[in-house]
Amino acid sequence: MTAPGPRSEDLGARLSFDRGEPGRRAVDVPVWNGQKTPLPDAHLLRDSVTLPEMGQGELVRYYTALSTRNYGIDSGTYPLGSCTMKFNPKVNDLIAFLPGFADAHPQSPEHEAQGTLRTLLELRQGLAEITGLPHVSLAPAAGAQGELAGVLMITAALEDRGELEARRRILVPDSAHGTNPATAAMAGYSVTHLPTAEDGSLDRATIEQELDESVAAVMVTVPNTLGLWENGIEQVAELIHDAGAYLYADGANLNAIMGRVRYGDLGFDVVHLNLHKSFSTPHGGGGPGAGPVCCTEELAPYLPTPILEEGDDGLVRLAAPERSIGRLQQFHGNVGVLLRAYAYMRALGLDGLRSVSGQAVLNANYLRVLLHGHYDLPYDRPVLHEVVFSGSRQKREHDVRTYDIAKRLIDYGFHPPTVYFPLIVEEALMIEPTETEPPEAIEALAEALIAIAEESASDPDTLHGAPWTAPIGRLDETTAARRPVLSWRGPRQDR
Amino acid sequence: MTAPGPRSEDLGARLSFDRGEPGRRAVDVPVWNGQKTPLPDAHLLRDSVTLPEMGQGELVRYYTALSTRNYGIDSGTYPLGSCTMKFNPKVNDLIAFLPGFADAHPQSPEHEAQGTLRTLLELRQGLAEITGLPHVSLAPAAGAQGELAGVLMITAALEDRGELEARRRILVPDSAHGTNPATAAMAGYSVTHLPTAEDGSLDRATIEQELDESVAAVMVTVPNTLGLWENGIEQVAELIHDAGAYLYADGANLNAIMGRVRYGDLGFDVVHLNLHKSFSTPHGGGGPGAGPVCCTEELAPYLPTPILEEGDDGLVRLAAPERSIGRLQQFHGNVGVLLRAYAYMRALGLDGLRSVSGQAVLNANYLRVLLHGHYDLPYDRPVLHEVVFSGSRQKREHDVRTYDIAKRLIDYGFHPPTVYFPLIVEEALMIEPTETEPPEAIEALAEALIAIAEESASDPDTLHGAPWTAPIGRLDETTAARRPVLSWRGPRQDR
Amino acid sequence: MSSPHPYIPATEADRARMLERIGADDLDSLFADLPEAFRDPSIDLLPALTEPDLIALLADRAGQNAAPSRPNFLGAGAYRRSVPSIVSYLVSRSEFSTAYTPYQPEISQGTLQSGFEFQSVVCELTGMDVANVGLYDVASATAEACLMASRTTKRQAVCLLEPIHPGTADVVNTYARGAGLRVDAVSMAEELSDEHACLVAQQPDFLGTIVDLEPLANAAHEVGALLVAVADPFALGMLKAPGDAGADIVTGEGRDLAGAPAFGGPSLGLFAAGLPYLRQMPGRIVGRTKELHPSDGGKARTGYVLTLQAREQFIRRERATSNVSTAQALIALGFTIAVQALGPHGLRESAELCYQRAHDAARRIAAISGYKVPERGPWVQEFLVRGPVPAANLSSELSERGITAGLDVSDRPEPEAHNALLFCVTEATPDSHIDALIEALASIGDEV
Amino acid sequence: MSSPHPYIPATEADRARMLERIGADDLDSLFADLPEAFRDPSIDLLPALTEPDLIALLADRAGQNAAPSRPNFLGAGAYRRSVPSIVSYLVSRSEFSTAYTPYQPEISQGTLQSGFEFQSVVCELTGMDVANVGLYDVASATAEACLMASRTTKRQAVCLLEPIHPGTADVVNTYARGAGLRVDAVSMAEELSDEHACLVAQQPDFLGTIVDLEPLANAAHEVGALLVAVADPFALGMLKAPGDAGADIVTGEGRDLAGAPAFGGPSLGLFAAGLPYLRQMPGRIVGRTKELHPSDGGKARTGYVLTLQAREQFIRRERATSNVSTAQALIALGFTIAVQALGPHGLRESAELCYQRAHDAARRIAAISGYKVPERGPWVQEFLVRGPVPAANLSSELSERGITAGLDVSDRPEPEAHNALLFCVTEATPDSHIDALIEALASIGDEV
Ligand SMILES: Cc1ncc(COP(=O)(O)O)c(C=O)c1O
Ligand SMILES: Cc1ncc(COP(=O)(O)O)c(C=O)c1O
C-alpha cells in the first residue's frame, strides 16, 4: 500500500534571491569606531547592490538542501569515463587546510614559505620520476591549461629553431578529448584530424602521410580515450622526431599506467597530467584541478613560470625558466590541489601507485567481461583503465538511446558513465570504474546495466522517461539553450 | 506519468560488519622498526577481535549514506518541544576545534590551560548574571546530571543542617520532565507528584498541603513544560523556604526568559541549565550536552567539583568547593560544549539574548494563533517558548492519533514535534519553534498541520500509514522490545 | 549590533506582522505573566561580538593554552591517539551533528543504525552481550554500574580495587551518596565480602599495569558480587576481553579514540553488560526491527528504533534505571567510525605500536643515569619514572625546559609510585617529543 | 605497507577471483600491450607513509612556513578577508566537493543551481548581463577576455593600462602569443588606437588607486574597442559597478572572498560580459529550464542545466571559444555563499570597514617622523609607504622585527612608487599587527 506524500517544494524555482526578507543578515560586520575618513567621491561609488538577505540558518539550510541534490563520490559509484572519479581521501583536505599552508601569502618572501615550496619541490621530483620527463612546472590550473602550456612551449622551441612560420599544423587523433584540438587552435595552429585504426590505435599510414615540415606537433592521448594502449607509439615517436615535430602526450589517463611505463621513455617530449584525476584530489563539481607539464631537457627552457629550484643555500625558490612562455596565472597555480596530490603520492609510494594502475585496469577489464554480450563492444580487446561500449544495438533494435540508458542508471543508484564520447564510437558508453571501487560495486554496476539492457527490450518507455527517482526529472535542455535564462535578474535590457 | 524505479538497497539489513572483505582496511598503522619488547603473557591477551574490514572509501560511503537518512536542524524545521532545536552556528564548532582548545590535556597544569580556563570563567560569570544565582559549576554533562548535582547539593546542605534523616521527600509537578522524578529517586528521595491546576500552573493548595518537615525540596520547571509561566512562583518560593525546604529550578526552558527574569530573583535556590538547548550547541543525535548548576551563597559550598576561581596572581584555577558533593565526571565536564556555549553568549550579548527569548515566545504564540481552532488547546492562554496542543479531537472523531499526525508531518518535510509529553495532556503535540525559525517556516508548519487536520477527516488511512516518503516506513517497535536484537552478533549464548 | 541578529531571522516588519496577528502590542507584552517586580533586571554581560571579532578573541584564547606542539607526557585517563582523518569529516555532517535523540525513527535511521553499530562494536571489544549507546564518561558510567550492581544484588556496598583513577573513585562516591551505598576502597580482592554488590577493577589500572581480571571475577563471584571492569577500549585492542575473563559489567572511556582530548570532554562512557542485566541497564538502547508494512513494493525493510524504553525516565520516571537522557551520541558515532576504520588488524597493530613505543621510551629513560622505571607488572602505555630529584622538582624542571611531565603520583600508597611521575607515551607521541624528553632528563640528571 | 591499501579495497582474494573471470594470469599480464622494453622502469619515489606519519610530516612542513600569526602587510593581488564561518562547512560537504562537472543534471542540481546563483551574484556585483561559472583566476580570465575582444572586434592587438598587476600582464602576454595578438602597455587611455580590440584597466589599479572607469570606457568605445575591467569583487561592495561605468567585459579574482589565500591557489577567475558577447564567452554557463514532463503529479519543476555548450571544446573542438574544461567550481561555490552571507549591507559595511581601517593605519604611518604615504588618488586598502631608509632595507628591517612588509614596488615607473613599499590593510588585519607595525616603523626611524 502506498499513498502519495504532499508535493514537495520546487526548490529550483526559488533562488536565494527569492528567499529571506529585506534586513535579514547571515553575518555581522564589526563597526568601525575609530577616526572616520571621508569616502571617495560619490561618482566612484555605487548606490547599492542587490543580493539575497537571509538569516544564517536559512542560508545554511538552502545550501544544505542543494547539496542533497548532488551526487558525489561519497554517494556511490561514479564511473565517468576519462574523468577518473576515484575516492578522495579526506586527509588530503585536512592537510591543505593546515593554517600554515592555507594562510601563506603568494607574495611571501621565499624563506617564509619553505614548507610549501619544499613540498612542491618533492611533488615535482615525483612527477618527473613517474613521467620519465625530468623538467616540470606545476603552474597549470587544469588539464587544458597544461595542454596550452605544452603547445606554447613547442611554439617557443620552434621559434628558436626558426621554424615557427613553417610549422603551422598540429595533428590530433579523432578520438582525442575536445581540449586537444581547442588548445591547438588557441595556440594558433590549424588542426588535422587523424583517424583511428581498426584496432583502436592511431592509423600509422595516415600519420606517415601527414607528417611533413608543416607539422609542429602530434598530440596523442596515452592510453587513449578508448581505454586502449597506442600500439607502436614508441615507433611513431621516432617518425615524428625524424620529421622535426614534437610529440605531445595528453596524460589525463596516467591512472592506467602509473609506475608501469613512462612518457619520457616512450619518446614523448612533453606531457600534462591531471592531478585532480590521477592523484585523487576532489573534482569539486568542476574544479579546482591541477595540470602540471613535464618535459624533456630540450623543452625545459620554455616551461611556464614559476618552476621550483633548490639553491645551494638549501632554500627552495620560485624561478622563471630562461625562455619561459610566461605565466599562466597571476600566482603559482592551484597550490592547495598540489598539496593534496603530494599527500596522495606519499600515501601510496611506488608500490601503491603500481597497485593503483593494476587495480584500475583489472576493474575495467572485469567490467568488460561482465558486460560482454549485453552491449556492443566496438573495440573488442583487453582494455586499460576504461572500457567503451556502444548502445547502438539498443538504439537499432529498441529505439533506446545511450542517453536513455544513462538516465535509467540513475534510478539504479549509480552516476552514469560518460556518454557520446569518444566521438568515434556511436552511442558511446565510456565506463571507468577506477581502482577505488570494490569488486562488489563493479558487479552491482554490471547487473544494473544488464537489467537495463533487458528493460530496453521489455519496457523501453521506462527508459525513455527515466530517471524516475532522481530529485528532478529530465530537463528541457533545448529550451534552455534557445531562450537562455542565465541569472536571477536576466540581462539589464530586460529589467 | 510515473514508473517505478528499481527497488533500492535495504540499507538497514547490511551493517558495516556485513560489508567489506577480510583483509581490507580503511587506515594503515605505522610499523614499529625499533627494538621489540616481548608482549605480556598470552593469558592476558586476546586472540582477535571481530570488526568490519572495509576500505576507506567504502566506510566513508556507508556513513555518508547513513547521514542522509537523518534529519537535522540544517534539514528543516525541527519543532521538538522541550528540546529547543535551534540553529547551531558553525562558528561554535570552528572555535571548539581550534587546536589550542581541542588538544588541551585535562590534567594540564593550570598555567598551560589559561585560555580554556579564562573562557570558562567568563561563561560562569555570564551564567551567574543570567540566572541571578551567583555560584556556578560547569561540571554536569547534561541536564539530568545537573539535576542530580542540584539535588545532591540539597542533600548535603540538609545533612549539614542535621535534617537529612527527616526530609526524605521531593515534590515534583505532574507536568515535569521524566528526569526530575528519576533524579530525585536516584538521589534517594521518594517522589510526591503535584497536580497541575486548571490554568496550567502549580496547584497552590496541594503544595501548601504537602509542604511539611518531610520535604527536602520542590523541583519546578520554569517556564513549565506546557510552555506557561508558573504563576505566583515567587510566593511559592517563600512558602517552600518557610517550610525549610529548597526550591529547585529545572532551567531547561531558559530560552523563553533569557534576559527577562532570573531564577535567583524569584527565590530559587538552585537551577540547572541545558546549554545544548538554550545556548545553541549541536544536540549531536543525543548529546554531548552541558548542564551547569547555578546556586545561592548558601548552597555554594556543596557545588560539584570542579569550580573555577581566579587567583590574586591573575591565574584561573580549577578548585573543589569546601564541602563539595564531589565530582560528576572523571575530568571537568563537556568542555567542548561549554566553549561553544560561550561563543554563543558572546555572539549575542544581553540584547541578543533578550531578542532570543522575545522572538522564541513570539514564534510560539504565532503558531498558537495560526493553529487555533484546528487542534484542541487544553490550556488556552498566551504561551511562552512552546505551545502544547492536543490531538484528542482527531482521535475521538476520526480515530487518528497524535502518533499518526506526527508521522504524517514527516511527509510534509518537517520533523514532528514532541508527542505524548507532557503526560498530563492527552494526545499531546508539544511544539517549540524557537527563535531561529523565520515566520515563513512557522506559517508553513501551521499550514501542514492544518492540512493534516483536514486529512484526518477526509483520509484517515493516509495518516494511519504515514510516513510515505521517509527513508523507511513505520517500524515495528513492539517486536523490537519483545524480542530484542541489540547487536550485530547478539548475546554470546546465542552464537 | 545590527538588527536582526544573524541567528534570529525575523525582521522588525516580520515582528509587526506577527504581533498584529496575535493581537499583542509589542514583544514585551508577551511576557506579561512574569512578575513585574522581577521583570527585566539589570544584567551585566560582556558585550556582543561580531563573528570576526569572536573568532579573533577565541583564537587568541586558544593560543593562551600550551601550544599543541609542546611535548606532553600526561596520560592518567586521557590519551593522545591517532584518530583517522575520516572521523571528523563524517561526524561533522550536520545531519548527524544537528539532530537530537531519535524519537522519530523514520527520519533518524542515521543516528539509530550507527547507534546499533556502536553497541555492536562495544560488545565485540568488551566481550559482553549487550551495550547501551553510551553514557557521559567512564566515571559516571562506572558509578551507574555500581548502582546497577546494587539493584540486581540488592546489596548496599561497593568495592573499588586500587589503584583506580581518583576521578572515577570520586564520581562513584558522589553517586553512591545519593543512592545510600557504602564505598570501600581495597588493595586486594580478598577484602571483598558478601556485603558488596560489586568489585570495580580498572584495566589497565591507574598506574598503567595490566590486571589479570580472571581471578578477580572469581573472587567477586565467590561472594555473590559482580565484577565491574573499567577497561580502556584502546588497550582492549590487545588485551583479553573482560567478558572472556568473567566480567559482568564493563565500562570505559571512548573520548580519545573519537577525537582530541578537549580538556577532558566531551567524553564518552562505554557501558556493556551480560544479558541477565539487560533490563536493569541505564541509558538508551537501540534495537533492530522491520517495517510494519513493506514500503517499496517488496519485503519489509530493516530499521532501527530505541527500545526497552520501559527502563527509562521519560516512561518509568522515579522508577527508572537511571535519570540519564541526553548522553554523548555524537562522540559515540566518532568512536564507532574510528574503531571500524582501524578494523580488527589496525586496532591490534595500533595497540602494539603504542606498547612498543612506550616500552622503548621507558627503556631509554631507564638507561639515563639517575633514573629508574619501577615496574609493577606488564603494562601498555603508562610507566612510572623516578628521577635523581624529587618528583615535584623533576616535573617543574621539565616544565622549564618546555616539556609537560607525566602526572605526579608521588603521594600514592603504592611503593613503586613513591617519588614517581606517571609518564605516558602512545602511538601518537611524536618521536621528536620523546627525544626532547630524553635529552631534558639527561640534562637534569647532569645538573644534580 | 600493508595490502590492500586503504584507498584500494580489493584484496588478493578479490583479485584472484576477478583475474580468473577475465582469464588473465596476473595483474602484470593486463599490461601486455605496453612495449616490453619500457615496461616497469625503475622509479625513484619517496617511501609511502601511513596516515599518521603523513599528517605528522605535513604538519611539520606547514610549520616551516611563516606562522599565520606573523604580521603580514602583503596585498598586491591576494587579500586576507573575513570569510564567514559557514562557508568552509558547506563547501566541504562531499556532495559538493566530490562531484564533477554536472553532465547529468538530474543528480547535479546542487552544483547547477549554485552555479546559477554564482552567475547571478557576479552579474549583480559587476553590473553585467551575463557571467559564466568561473575560470582559473583573474589573470587567465583577463587573457580570455582579450581573446574574446579580439574575436568580436576582429582586431589583433590589445592594450593594458598601467599600473596593472604584473602577473595579469604576464598571463595576457602568454595567451596573446598563442593567439598572435600584440600587447601594448600604456599609461593613459589616449594611447589607444583603432588597432586595439580592447583596453584592459584594473580597478583598483595595481598600486591600489580607485580608477574612474567611465572616461576609459568612452575612450575605448570611441576607437571601437571594448573596455575590459579587472575588478576586485570585494571593492565592488562600495565601488561603482563596472557595467554601470560602461565596461563591456569584467573579470576579477574571487579566491579571497571564498577562503584563505593558500599561496595563491586555488584561485577563481570571474568573467562577466554584456549580452552581445554571450555566444563568444569562454567557459561553462548554467541556464534555467523546466522538467520535460511533470514528475510529481503537478507542474513541471524548475531545474538547471549546462547550456550554450555549442561554444565549448567538447562539441566545437578547434572552433571552441576556449579550451577550458575543468575550472574552479568549488571555489565559486564558496565565493557565492560568502557574498550571499554578507548580503548587500554586509558587503558594503565590510568594504567600508576595510577602507576605514586601512586609511587609519596609513594616517598613523604618515604621522611617524621620516615616513610618507604618497597618494595617487582615492584608494581602498593598499597604499604606498616611503620610509627613512631605502625600500629594500625597510622591508628587511621589518622582517628582522618579525613583520612581513608590503611588496617592494620601488622599481615601478610611477613617481609615487619611487622607493616605496605597497602596504595592505584589510578588515581582517588584526589591530595588534597594525600596532606592531607602527612600533617597528618608529623604531626603524629612530635608528636612522
Ligand atoms: C583525456 C583528457 N584530456 C584532457 C582533459 C582536460 O582536462 P581538464 O578538464 O583538467 O582541463 C580531460 C578531462 O577533462 C581528459 O579526459
Ligand atoms: C524540561 C527538561 N528538563 C530536563 C531535561 C533533561 O536534560 P538532558 O536531556 O540534558 O539530561 C530535559 C531534556 O531532555 C527537559 O526538556
Q: What is the pLDDT of residues A291-335, one digit of tens each?
A: 999 999 999 999 999 999 999 999 999 999 999 999 999 999 999
Q: Is A158 exposed, middle or buried (0-12, 13-18, 19+ CB in 10 A)?
A: buried
- What average pLDDT does range D428-433 have in this prediction? 96
Centre of ligand 1 to C-alpha A250, Å, is 8
Q: How do beta strands B190-194 and B169-173 pair?
A: parallel
CB of C45 closer than 8 Å to CB of C377: no
What is the predicted pLDDT for the residue at C311? 86
In a domain, A73, yes or no: no
The separation between CA B219 and the C-alpha centre of its own chain, rounded to angstroms, equals 17
In a domain, A454, yes or no: yes
**Residue-range domains of chain C with CATH:** 86-339 (3.40.640.10), 367-447 (3.90.1150.10)
Interface test with chain C among D1, D11, D50, D342, by most C beta carbons within 10 Å: D50
Cβ under 8 Å to B: A residues 13-52:
20-21, 24
d(CA B200, CA C232): 49
B175 lines ligand 2 (CB under 6 A): no
Looking at the structure, tell me whether residues B165 and B258 fall in a common domain. yes
Checking if the pLDDT of D1 tops 50, the result is: no
Q: Which residue of A has its CA nearest to C294?
A: A1
Could you tell me the residue range of the domain that residue A367 belongs to?
354-468
CB of A267 closer than 8 Å to CB of A234: yes
Looking at the structure, tell me whether residues A276 and A410 fall in a common domain. no
Percentage of residues in chain C having pLDDT higher than 90: 94
Checking if the pLDDT of A4 tops 70, the result is: no
In a domain, B137, yes or no: yes
d(CA D339, CA D87): 10
Checking if the pLDDT of D182 tops 50, the result is: yes
d(CA A252, CA D325): 13
- What average pLDDT does range D23-28 have in this prediction? 94
Q: What is the pLDDT of residues B450-473, one digit of tens each?
A: 999 999 999 999 999 999 999 999
Looking at the structure, tell me whether residues B364 and B379 fall in a common domain. yes
Q: How do beta strands B387-390 and C196-203 pair?
A: unpaired
pLDDT band at residue B1 using 50, 70 and 90 as cut-offs: very low
Looking at the structure, tell me whether residues A364 and A320 fall in a common domain. no
Centre of ligand 2 to C-alpha C2, Å, is 33
What is the predicted pLDDT for the residue at D311? 86
Looking at the structure, tell me whether residues B360 and B342 fall in a common domain. no
Which residues face D201 on adjacent strands?
A: D229
What is the predicted pLDDT for the residue at B309? 96
Which among D7, D94, D295 has the least Cβ separation from residue A472? D295
* Backbone dihedral region for residue A32 (phi beyond 0: left; psi -120 to 50: alpha; all else: beta): beta
Which residues face A475 on adjacent strands?
A: D291
Checking if the pLDDT of B2 tops 60, the result is: no
Q: Verify whether the Cβ–Cβ distance A70 to D111 is below 8 Å.
A: yes
- Average model confidence (pLDDT) for chain A? 96
Angle (nearest 5°) at CA A43 between A37 and A46: 80
Element (H, E) at B215: strand B215-221
Element (H, E) at C175: helix C166-179
CB of C209 closer than 8 Å to CB of C377: yes
d(CA A417, CA A440): 17
In a domain, A402, yes or no: yes
Atom of ligand 1 nearest to the CA of A82: 16
CB of A245 closer than 8 Å to CB of A163: no
- What average pLDDT does range C287-302 have in this prediction? 87
Q: What are phi and psi of B225, to 5 degrees?
A: -75, 0
Q: Is B65 helix (H, G, I), strand (E, B) or coil?
A: helix
Please list the alpha-helical segments (H only) found in D296-328. 313-316
| Chosen domain end from A308, A326, A347 | A347
Closest Cα to atom 9, ligand 1: which residue?
D326
CB of D258 closer than 8 Å to CB of A436: no
Closest Cα to atom 6, ligand 1: which residue?
A143
In a domain, B38, yes or no: no
What residue type is D245 in one-letter code? A
Q: Is B16 exposed, middle or buried (0-12, 13-18, 19+ CB in 10 A)?
A: buried
Checking if the pLDDT of C2 tops 70, the result is: no
pLDDT band at residue D346 using 50, 70 and 90 as cut-offs: very high
Checking if the pLDDT of D247 tops 80, the result is: yes
Atom of ligand 2 nearest to the CA of B145: 11
Residues with CB under 6 A from ligand 1: A 82, 142-144, 177, 179, 221, 225, 250, 252-253, 274, 289, 291; D 325-326
> What are the helix and strand counts (H, E) for chain D?
13, 12
CB of D194 closer than 8 Å to CB of D156: no
Count of other CB atoms within 10 angstroms of residue C195: 16
Q: What is the pLDDT of residues D92-151, one digit of tens each?
A: 999 999 999 999 999 999 999 999 999 999 999 999 999 999 999 999 999 999 999 999
Q: Residue holding cell 582477535? A: B48
CB of B442 closer than 8 Å to CB of B378: no
Looking at the structure, tell me whether residues A292 and A411 fall in a common domain. no
- Average model confidence (pLDDT) for chain D? 96
d(CA D271, CA D280): 12
d(CA C374, CA C366): 9
Which among B412, B413, B468 has the least Cβ separation from residue A4? B468
What is the predicted pLDDT for the residue at B349? 97
CB of C97 closer than 8 Å to CB of C330: yes
CB of A85 closer than 8 Å to CB of A78: yes
Q: Residue holding cell 607509439? A: A233
Centre of ligand 1 to C-alpha A177, Å, is 7
Looking at the structure, tell me whether residues A311 and A235 fall in a common domain. yes
Q: Residue A233: its chain D contacts at CB < 8 A?
A: 35
Q: What are phi and psi of A180, to 5 degrees?
A: -65, -60
Q: Is D45 helix (H, G, I), strand (E, B) or coil?
A: coil
d(CA C204, CA C229): 10
Q: Which residue of A has its CA nearest to C14?
A: A21
Looking at the structure, tell me whether residues B265 and B394 fall in a common domain. no
What is the predicted pLDDT for the residue at A2? 47
Looking at the structure, tell me whether residues A205 and A285 fall in a common domain. yes
Give the HSE-up count for residue A331: Cα atoms under 13 Å, Cβ half-sphere. Answer: 27
d(CA B472, CA C268): 29
| Chosen domain end from B291, B312, B347 | B347
Checking if the pLDDT of C76 tops 90, the result is: yes
Interface test with chain A among D124, D267, D323, by most A beta carbons within 10 Å: D323
Q: What are phi and psi of B172, to 5 degrees?
A: -135, 125
Checking if the pLDDT of B15 tops 50, the result is: yes
Q: Is C408 helix (H, G, I), strand (E, B) or coil?
A: strand
Q: What is the pLDDT of residues B172-200, one digit of tens each?
A: 999 999 999 999 999 999 999 999 999 99
What is the predicted pLDDT for the residue at D3? 66
Checking if the pLDDT of B4 tops 80, the result is: no
Looking at the structure, tell me whether residues A394 and A305 fall in a common domain. no
B250 lines ligand 2 (CB under 6 A): yes
d(CA C33, CA C22): 16
Task: Encode burial over D316-346: b for 16+ CB neighbours within 10 A, e otherwise.
Answer: bbbebbbbbbbbbbbbbbbbbbbbbbbbbbb
Please tell me which chains touch C, using 3 or more CB pairs under 8 Å as the contact test: A, B, D
d(CA A74, CA A81): 17
CB of C421 closer than 8 Å to CB of C391: yes
Element (H, E) at D201: strand D196-203
Instruction: Tell me how far apart the terminal alpha carbons of chain C are, to the nearest angstrom.
Output: 60
CB of D169 closer than 8 Å to CB of D282: no
Q: Verify whether the Cβ–Cβ distance A29 to D427 is below 8 Å.
A: yes
Checking if the pLDDT of B494 tops 50, the result is: yes
| Among A281-285, B125-129, C146-150, the least confident range | A281-285
Please list the alpha-helical segments (H only) found in C77-137. 86-91, 94-97, 109-126
Q: Is A257 exposed, middle or buried (0-12, 13-18, 19+ CB in 10 A)?
A: buried
Among B321, B326, B102, B325, CA closest to C265: B102
How many domains does the structure of chain B reveal? 2
Angle (nearest 5°) at CA A212 between A210 and A216: 95
B142 lines ligand 2 (CB under 6 A): yes
pTM of the model: 0.98
Count of other CB atoms within 10 angstroms of residue B465: 19
- What average pLDDT does range B372-389 have in this prediction? 97
Angle (nearest 5°) at CA A106 between A103 and A112: 70
What residue type is A134 in one-letter code? P
Q: Residue D290: its chain A contacts at CB < 8 A?
A: 475-476, 479
Q: Is the Cβ of B5 closer than 8 Å to some Cβ of chain D?
A: no
Centre of ligand 1 to C-alpha A344, Å, is 20
In a domain, B9, yes or no: no
In a domain, A54, yes or no: no
Among A213, B28, A85, B45, CA closest to C350: B28
Atom of ligand 2 nearest to the CA of B146: 11
d(CA D331, CA B246): 58
Q: Is C216 helix (H, G, I), strand (E, B) or coil?
A: helix
Q: Residue holding cell 535551534? A: B86
Question: Domain containing B413 — which CATH number?
Answer: 3.90.1150.10
Give the HSE-up count for residue C419: Cα atoms under 13 Å, Cβ half-sphere. Answer: 11
d(CA C33, CA C29): 9
Q: Is the Cβ of A81 closer than 8 Å to some Cβ of chain D?
A: no
In a domain, B31, yes or no: no
What is the predicted pLDDT for the residue at D2? 44
Element (H, E) at C346: helix C329-366
Question: Domain containing B224 — which CATH number?
Answer: 3.40.640.10
Q: Verify whether the Cβ–Cβ distance B461 to A3 is below 8 Å.
A: yes
Rg of chain B in Å (alpha carbons): 25
What is the predicted pLDDT for the residue at C1? 36
Q: Verify whether the Cβ–Cβ distance C52 to D85 is below 8 Å.
A: no
Which residues face B136 on adjacent strands?
A: B294
Checking if the pLDDT of D297 tops 90, the result is: no
Checking if the pLDDT of B373 tops 80, the result is: yes
Q: Residue A468: its chain C contacts at CB < 8 A?
A: none
Cβ under 8 Å to A: B residues 346-385:
none
Count of other CB atoms within 10 angstroms of residue B232: 14
Looking at the structure, tell me whether residues B211 and B341 fall in a common domain. yes
Q: Residue holding cell 558478601? A: C194
| CA-based nearest distance B110→chain A, Å | 27
Among B1, B381, B428, B370, CA closest to B177: B428
Q: Verify whether the Cβ–Cβ distance D92 to C94 is below 8 Å.
A: no
pLDDT band at residue C136 using 50, 70 and 90 as cut-offs: very high
Q: What are phi and psi of B419, to 5 degrees?
A: -125, 150
Looking at the structure, tell me whether residues A324 and A403 fall in a common domain. no
C-alpha cell at D426: 584589510
Task: Encode burial over D171-189: b for 16+ CB neighbours within 10 A, e otherwise.
Answer: bbbbbbbbbebebebbeeb
Q: What is the pLDDT of residues B335-350, one digit of tens each?
A: 999 999 999 999 999 9
d(CA A51, CA B235): 53
Angle (nearest 5°) at CA B285 between B407 and C338: 135
Atom of ligand 1 nearest to the CA of A253: 1
